[in-house]
Amino acid sequence: LGDVYKRQILKKVLINVVPPTIALIAGLGSLYNFDANVINGTIGLFATFFAGVLGVSKHNYNAGKE
């Protein structure tokens, strides 16, 4: 798979999968009386990290095209 395709997949996962997953875990935590803050915080931190890596990767890719 090409680098551009991998970045597109990662971007789609970060935008379309992570937020509903966090909402689902928060809802289940409320429903079943467990603290979902640690799980949601961990997912959010990883998502933020990968979004930053994705942004740097895109910047470097675009800079190489010029």
- List pLDDT tens digits, range 25-47: 999 999 999 999 999 999 999 99
Q: Give the predicted TM-score (pTM) of the model.
A: 0.79
Residue 66: the pLDDT is 63
Whether the per-residue pLDDT at 14 is higher than 90: the answer is yes
C-alpha distance from residue 21 to each of 40, 42, 55, 60, 63 (Å)? 9, 12, 22, 30, 34
Contact 53/7 with Cβ under 8 angstroms? no
**CA dihedral of 26, 28, 19, 9, whole degrees rounded to 10:** 140
Better-predicted residue by pLDDT, 10 or 57: 10
Residue 5: the pLDDT is 86
The per-residue pLDDT of the chain, averaged, comes to 90
